[in-house]
Structure 1
């Protein structure tokens, strides 16, 4: 029997509850604030290659239509993040399956014929894993993971599994471009769920291409709840890290992309759109 979890709408003073059964996962903790054993497990595995379609600078500049379908992307990787034409929600890919993050975290299997202007995918492997008994908050998780990144000049794909005692998540509605004034978002939180954080860490010098530093989406073990991660608290956490040794970058071949006046993304742009690693 599956439990039902209450999702609370944090953007209103009146708590809005939506019943979405789920387990939810994610998390990692900093050793400096953590009391408990840390266990290194299976370290050896080849580095992975990242396939990226589109780039953040184009999204900020309004080039938000692509011609590539998710059916075509199935061969490019089994783990990653992305969006849909018109930025109609965010995407999370895990174990070769693609999901759309819907309103209040409703998780919708992606129609193979849906198109996207932006996606990041790797074929994930068990490269480096660290266990934490508990993680106090999102900042601690990111600090803990950051301390395990041996080379801060390359990107990483990161998977975090665990029991999430608390998660603050968001979903986003369609908008004209990745700009603050166009953002319509719903913030919600959930407690005591098992799940996985799917994400990446990119060095800041790649910010014209993608979100700098950390970017995570959550998906519950029962695949009924998902969201862009804003805050968390977790226990029994396992973090697996894959080094990304090369990037295959594909440019959209649409009329919109060809005629867009694309300017480079900046940290200020990410901050105003709430897409930087701190959000």
Structure 2
């Protein structure tokens, strides 16, 4: 074993059988994972070591610039966790993955189960295993909810997966509608549909991302809502509720799959997307 050039890690050189190596290569080709990630994940599970990986498809900068062409299918997304959020080709609705099942909230208010061949231009996923949990007695607004989740996060520099279950006194959310590739995100979300429900059971799910990662993800909280009957869902804008179960998971490993679509390869991703993301999110 030798010291790795990656802080906090060690380089490990081992011999494996041809059959194992061939199986590793086959899995990586099928899922897009690197051999390093696959081996680390397998060892972590076998040894009972927490190794929480957040898997990302594309970047927030690309989405801001209108790179909405699907680059990874739902079938492959499912191999990278049981929990996540994103969108679909041409920004056609909001994506949710809860307990291993993927849902597509459409602009007309309906929710469907997309086929494994449906594609996404942007997605975050993880294998959700809560590190900490708490009961939220009362929530009066989106800002109030964010402050209460903050109390369970342990660092401003780690990504955090968030799951909240309960009955919502009021939930307000929006759903993006299909647009032409190349439409910038602010313009695309200015035509979104808003929905509001009262006294509805469901789950809030998503991620908190550090400010330094604004070119990769949405800074702060990005949560989607899925009703308990899986008939309603979208990107959360406002919330009021009581007696909610909050669970958070620290993500200490980030893997990113970058698209090779013409739109991504030619896009100018050098700008700061934080302001545009804030407008689109809220």
Q: TM-score when scaled to structure 2?
A: 0.78
Aligned to 2:265: 258
Structure with higher strand content: 1
Work out which of the residue numbers 133, 137, 143 in structure 2 matches 1:139. 143
Q: Give 5+ residue unaligned stretches, structure 2.
A: 1-47
Q: Give 5+ residue unaligned stretches, structure 1.
A: 1-43
Aligned to 1:85: 89
1:130-279 to 2 correspondence within 5 Å? Answer: 130-175=134-179, 176-183=182-189, 184-272=191-279, 274-275=280-281, 279=282
| Structure whose alpha-carbon radius of gyration is higher | 2
Q: What secondary structure is seen at the aligned counterpart in 1 of 2:162?
A: strand
How far is 1:47 from its partner? 4.8
Aligned-residue CA RMSD (Å): 1.7
Which has the higher relative contact order, 1 or 2, with Cα contacts under 8 A spaced 6 or more apart?
1
Cα contact 1:164–1:235 (8 A) shared by 2: yes
Q: How many residues align?
A: 232
Aligned to 2:61: 57
Cα contact 1:168–1:190 (8 A) shared by 2: yes
Runs of 4+ in 1 over 3 A off after TM superposition: none
1:42-53 to 2 correspondence within 5 Å? Answer: 46-53=50-57
Cα contact 1:61–1:263 (8 A) shared by 2: no
Query: CA-to-partner distance for each residue in 1:147-175, whole Å, 9 max, x for gaps?
Result: 22111111100001111000111111123
Aligned to 2:10: none
Query: CA-to-partner distance for each residue in 1:35-58, whole Å, 9 max, x for gaps?
Result: xxxxxxxxx993510010100111
Cα contact 1:59–1:177 (8 A) shared by 2: no
How far is 1:67 from its partner? 2.8
Query: CA-to-partner distance for each residue in 1:72-117, whole Å, 9 max, x for gaps?
Result: 2111111011111111111011000111111253111111111111
Cα contact 2:215–2:274 (8 A) shared by 1: no
Distance 1:265 1:64 in 2: 18
